[in-house]
Amino acid sequence: MANMYQALVDEFMTKIKTRNPGEKEFHQAVHEVVESLIPFIEENPHYKHAKILERMSEPERVILFRVPWMDDKGEIQINKGYRIEMNSSIGPYKGGLRFHPTVNLGILKFLAFEQVLKNSLTTLPMGGGKGGSDFDPKGKSDNEVMRFCQSFMTELCKHIGPNTDVPAGDIGVGGREIGFMFGQYKRIRNEFTGVLTGKGLEWGGSLIRPEATGYGATYFAEEMLKTRKMDFNGKLVAISGSGNVAPYATEKVTQLGGKVITLSDSEGSIYDPKGIDKEKLEWVLWLKNVKRGRIKEYVEKWGGEFWPGERPWKVKCDVALPCATQNEIDENDARILVKNGCFCVSEGANMPSTPEAVEVFINAKILYGPGKAANAGGVATSGLEMTQNSMRLSWTREQVDKELHTIMINIHKTCEKYGTEKDGFINYVKGANIGGFVKVADAMIAQGLV
């Protein structure tokens, strides 16, 4: 990057760090975006004069609240509750709720900031938000999770609504948690509306929503592979995570002819050189969603290796789909992946690669799809769930999957449009950041000083 741009990026980041002290994940997310956007903004100075970047990096509203609940022993527990309403210029705030002990303001602001650009890329009318709690559903009984969710929603319901803010799931929030929160919202507000997405099929949910993020990240990888006249057939694929996203990425990769050889959770990774086929995957879904067990149990049942405390990236693979959490691929992991021949990384998780890892991928000119483009299928299908709720209709599986696939193809085209460099290399980071930014920025300018 030219020195002039670097100085502008540094100046911008100094202000961000001063205004948002200690929020390192938020700084990281803003920095990545600002690096690609500053040159574009310098060439389009009306965005600069309107201070769009400064406005976009300040949430429209931050809601912080206490969540008291009672555990099974009758003891009172207190957690923190958050909702970041980041940007509503192109639609109601939309983005997931994360329940994990690491949740804090900085992490949720990074996620909300990314969400604004991601939602814009889907072409659907959705603003950006994110929320959650430092509550850990792991090891809690169903009744404890229910009491927590009810308490959380008792406060959150004052701030959300189908035309205002529509949360969904994220880490630690799946169908069970969405159900408990939806029930409480309905009870307090006395209305049956599409206020949350990721709902059960019997009560307003959309087919394909659970699969959408994993399927979408795979469709995006497929589009990237096509630019080099390749496909998934016969490819070795490393996947991390084993929650809402990873199993469905595994399913789609397998359907497209690839062989998935790893999965992981916070205790370590499993390696199955024979591949995680349909039967094994069904068992993983049962393990995670019914038994609520740990991924290491896979090895006892199906063989292979368990690597305690390790991420899967040392494995030799062609394609990597990180689907667990932020900063799970560091510089060293990225170097090992590239050295072992990995030529495509499609991020199911949000910001799973550190800035140094991203640099390794871009310098090696491999196909690298950042989360805000590659995992947008989840929120896109949430958008389709909102549409079905408004129409009071349910679309078929085929219909939703076709829409999702088309959206992912179009996101890829947008990245190609804004990210293709002079030598033909597609810089998907740049493409996704500029592609997502333009629509939001134009809407903000049209709506005056908001």
Give contact residues for ligand NDP (rule: CB under 6 A). Answer: 169-172, 174, 213, 241-245, 265-267, 323-325, 348-350, 375, 378
Cβ-contact 81, 156 below 8 angstroms: yes
Q: Between 194 and 348, name the residue whose CB sits nearer to ligand NDP.
A: 348
Tell me the CA end-to-end span of the chain in Å, nearest whole number.
32
The distance of closest approach from Cβ of residue 74 to ligand NDP in the complex, given in angstroms and rounded to an integer, is 27
Structure token digits, residue 326:
């932020």
The distance of closest approach from Cβ of residue 265 to ligand NDP in the complex, given in angstroms and rounded to an integer, is 3
109, 130, 235, 372: the catalytic one is 130
Q: Between 241 and 258, name the residue whose CB sits nearer to ligand NDP.
A: 241
The distance of closest approach from Cβ of residue 447 to ligand NDP in the complex, given in angstroms and rounded to an integer, is 27
130 is catalytic: yes
The distance of closest approach from Cβ of residue 379 to ligand NDP in the complex, given in angstroms and rounded to an integer, is 6
Which residues fall within 8 angstroms of residue 51, CB to CB, at 6 or more apart?
none
Residue 225 amino acid letter:
L
Which residues fall within 8 angstroms of residue 30, CB to CB, at 6 or more apart?
13, 16, 57, 110, 113
The distance of closest approach from Cβ of residue 38 to ligand NDP in the complex, given in angstroms and rounded to an integer, is 26
Residue 439 CB-density burial (10 A; 0-12 exposed, 13-18 middle, 19+ buried):
middle
Q: Between 288 and 430, name the residue whose CB sits nearer to ligand NDP.
A: 288
Q: Between 81 and 198, name the residue whose CB sits nearer to ligand NDP.
A: 198
Strand partners, 63: 83
Q: What share of the chain is helix, strand, coil (3-state, %, to 5)?
A: 50, 15, 35
Q: Which helix (H) or strand (E) holds 85?
A: strand 76-87
Cβ-contact 296, 308 below 8 angstroms: yes
Closest CA to 167 of 129, 113, 201: 129
Q: Between 11 and 267, name the residue whose CB sits nearer to ligand NDP.
A: 267
Q: What does residue 146 show for φ and ψ, rounded to 5 degrees?
A: -65, -45
The distance of closest approach from Cβ of residue 49 to ligand NDP in the complex, given in angstroms and rounded to an integer, is 34
Cα–Cα distances in Å, from 241 out to 193, 322, 325?
32, 7, 8
- Other Cβ atoms less than 10 A from the Cβ of 267: the count is 13
Q: Between 129 and 169, name the residue whose CB sits nearer to ligand NDP.
A: 169
Burial state string for 371-390 with b = 16 or more CB within 10 A and e = fewer than 16: bbbbbbbbbbbbbbbbbbbe
Q: Just list the catalytic residues.
A: 130
